[in-house]
Amino acid sequence: MQIAAVLVAAEGDEVLPSWLQYPVLPHLGELIFGFLVFAILYVVVARKVVPRLEQIFNERTAAIQGGIEKAEKAQEEAAKALEEYQAQLTEARAEASRIREEARAEGATIIAEMRDRAQSEANRIAAAAQQQIQAERQQAVVQLRGEVGRLATDLASRIVGESLEDHVRASGVVDRFLAEIEGAEPAGRVS
Amino acid sequence: MSSLLAAGEGTGFEAPDPIETFWQPLWGGNSQFALTRPMVMAVFSVVLLSVWLLLSTRKMALVPGKAQFVTESVYGMVRNGLGRDILGSKDFLRFVPLLFTMFMLILTNNLFGIIPPIQYPTMSRFGFPLALALIVFVVYHVVGIRSMGLGGYFRHMVPAGLPWLIVPLIFFLELLTYFVTRPVTLALRLFGNMFAGHILLVLCVVGGEHLLFGDTGIAVKGTGVLVFLGGFVMTLFEGFVQFLQAYVFTLLTALYIAGSLATDEH
Give residue-wise pLDDT tens across range A28-82.
999 999 999 999 999 999 999 999 999 988 888 888 888 888 999 999 999 999 9
Phi, psi angle pair for B36, to nearest 5°: -110, 165
Range of the domain at B97: 2-6+13-261
pLDDT at A147: 82
Q: C-alpha angle with apex B38: B132 to B254, nearest 5 degrees?
A: 20
pLDDT at B110: 94
pLDDT at A9: 45
Residue B203 has pLDDT above 60, yes or no: yes
Q: What confidence tier does B263 reach under pLDDT thresholds 50, 70, 90?
A: low
Q: How far is B84 from chain A (nearest CA, A)?
A: 13
Q: How far is CA B41 from the centre of its chain?
A: 14
Cβ distance B36 to A29 less than 8 Å, yes or no, reads: yes
The DSSP code for A26 is: P
Closest CA to B1 of A16, A25, A2: A16
CA distance from start to end of chain A: 173
Q: How far is B153 from chain A (nearest CA, A)?
A: 26
d(CA B201, CA B115): 12
Asked if A29 reaches chain B (Cβ–Cβ under 8 Å), the answer is yes
Peptide bond just before B121 cis, omega within 30 deg: no
- Report whether B28 contacts A30 (CB < 8 A): no
Least confident range from A158-172, B18-32, B77-91, B118-132: namely: A158-172
Burial B140-167 (b: 16+ CB within 10 A, else e): bbebbeeebeeeebbebbbeeeeeeeee
Cβ distance B4 to A8 less than 8 Å, yes or no, reads: yes
d(CA A42, CA B105): 9
Q: What is the dihedral of CA B80, B141, B134, B110, to 10 degrees?
A: -10
Q: Which residues contact B221 (CB under 8 A, 6 or more apart)?
A: B211, B212
Chain A residue with minimum CA distance to B33: A29
Residue A19 has pLDDT above 70, yes or no: yes
| Any domain includes B200 | yes
Q: What confidence tier does A186 reach under pLDDT thresholds 50, 70, 90?
A: low
- Report whether A52 contacts B79 (CB < 8 A): no
* Amino acid (1-letter code) at residue A89: L
Q: What confidence tier does A190 reach under pLDDT thresholds 50, 70, 90?
A: very low
| Any domain includes B22 | yes
| Any domain includes B23 | yes
Asked if B182 reaches chain A (Cβ–Cβ under 8 Å), the answer is no
Q: What is the mean pLDDT of chain A?
A: 83
pTM of the model: 0.69
Number of domains in chain B: 1
E-strand spans in chain B? 25-27, 35-36
pLDDT at A164: 57
| Any domain includes B199 | yes
| Any domain includes B266 | no
Q: What confidence tier does A158 reach under pLDDT thresholds 50, 70, 90?
A: confident
| Any domain includes B140 | yes
Q: Which residues of B touch A45 (CB under 8 A)?
A: 53, 97, 100-101, 104
Helices (DSSP H) in chain A: which residue ranges? Answer: 2-10, 18-21, 28-44, 50-160, 167-184
Q: How many CB atoms within 10 Å of residue A185?
A: 10
| Any domain includes B202 | yes
Least confident range from A31-45, A102-116, A161-175, B143-157: namely: A161-175
Asked if A9 reaches chain B (Cβ–Cβ under 8 Å), the answer is no
Cβ burial of A28 (10 Å; 0-12, 13-18, 19+) is middle
Cβ distance A48 to B53 less than 8 Å, yes or no, reads: yes
Dihedral sign (CA A23, A29, A33, A36): positive
* ipTM score: 0.88
